[in-house]
Each structure stands twice: as C-alpha cells, then as structure tokens.
Structure 1
C-alpha cells in the first residue's frame, strides 16, 4: 500500500466520521426532542433546543467533511484543477456553516451577544 492509498483511506475515514457525526447528532437531537414532547413539555419549548442541537450536529459534521476533502485533494494530487474544485467545495460548505451559525445564534457573527435588559428576569 503506497502513501496515496493511505491518504485516500484517511480522507475517506474522516468523511465517514463526518457523516456519522451528523447522523448520530440528528438521532440524538430527535430522541431528546421526542422525550421532551412526550414527557409533557410544550412543543414550541422543545422545538428550539431541537433545532439548535440538529444545527450543531450538521455544523460539526460539515467541518469533518471539509477536512476529509482537504486531506484527499491537497495531499494526494495538488493540481490547479483539484485545488480549484476543493476551493469551490470549501466555499459552499463555509457558506452553509455561516448560514447555520446565523440561524442558530439569531445574530450576525460581528454582533455582540445579546445580554438581558436591566430589570428583566
């Protein structure tokens, strides 16, 4: 087995880990959501944490998938064409990650975290 095959296998393993993170995170978030709803919690109170948990699982999985693409593309055959394809993939996945982060946090990344107003609570 030569180095290119090892690097390809490592990249594939990181991709599989990314998919696994997304699947396990989605199943876990869904199970927790179902438990909260079935145990008498209000649907809308359980929905927001479910959505955040699912979004975090997707974000973490995307990071693994980008890492797998980088490992396979740059380490094995760094031609201008493969690096260009990698740049496109990373750009799309970065946009997805950015969009999910904005959706989860309900603010732009450059905005400060909202603190409760004085006297609230």
Structure 2
C-alpha cells in the first residue's frame, strides 16, 4: 500500500473539504448571530432605520467571506480526479456563488456610500 495512492489522497482531501465547509458555515452563523444581537440592541436603543446600515454592512461582509469558504470547499472537492459531471457541477455552483458575491459586494458598496454620506451630513451639521 502506497502512502500517496489516490484513495489516501481522496480521503485527506475529503477531510479538508469538510473542514473548509464547516469554517464557511461557522463564519456565516457567527456573522448572523452577531448581526442579530446588534440589530436587537440598536432597535431597542435608537429605533432609527439609519442605525442599521452598519449592521447590514458587517453582515454582508461575513456572508461574502462565508461564501468564499464554501466556494473554496467546492474547488477542493474537485481536486482529486474530477469527472466531467463534477467539473460541470463546480462550474454551476461557482457561477451561482460568484453572482451572489457580486451582488453582495455591490450592496456593500452602496451601504458604504450611504454610511459615508450620513457621516458627512452628521459632521457638517455639527459644525
């Protein structure tokens, strides 16, 4: 039995895939829990819609990071002797996740602009 035979490599890569998937799920879960706690805290204290922009921005960042981990696990999954079907599935999943990341990044940029304009209005009103 050879140490670097295909079965051993496949088993090792499967373990890595599970770790990376779990990391992505943990990032998304923690981001959601933190965002929810901040949402409740801000909702009780301030009750203004503008106050939630930072919460949405931070949640968006965590979702984007979690999606990157999930995409990385999909890429790892096809690292060992992929079939054409696995490559096609990876391409479809990668396209969907890339589109999600694109729209999420666009929304994050919009939130940043709103936050910057709100900060500018706040600082010009204080002067």
TM class by shorter-chain length? 0.7 to 0.9
The Cα shift of 1:76 comes to 2.0
Q: Please give the alpha-carbon distance, in whole angstroms, between the structure 1 residues aligned to 2:48 and 2:91.
A: 41
Q: What residue is the counterpart of 1:62 in the other structure?
A: 67
Structure having the larger proportion of residues in helix: 2
Deviations 1:44-81 (A, max 9, x none): 132211211221111110000000010011x1232222
Gaps of 5+ in 1: 108-112
Moved over 6 A (4+): 113-116
Q: Please give the alpha-carbon distance, in whole angstroms, between the structure 2 residues aligned to 1:43 and 1:64.
A: 33
Q: Please give the alpha-carbon distance, in whole angstroms, between the structure 2 residues aligned to 1:51 and 1:24.
A: 14
- TM-score norm. by structure 1 comes to 0.81
- TM-score norm. by structure 2 comes to 0.77
Q: Please give the alpha-carbon distance, in whole angstroms, between the structure 2 residues aligned to 1:61 and 1:77.
A: 26
Q: What residue is the counterpart of 1:85 in the other structure?
A: 89
Partner SS state of residue 46, structure 2: coil
Deviations 1:9-45 (A, max 9, x none): 101110011011000001011112222222x213313
The Cα shift of 1:5 comes to 0.7
Report 1:7-26 matches (<5 A): 7-26=13-32
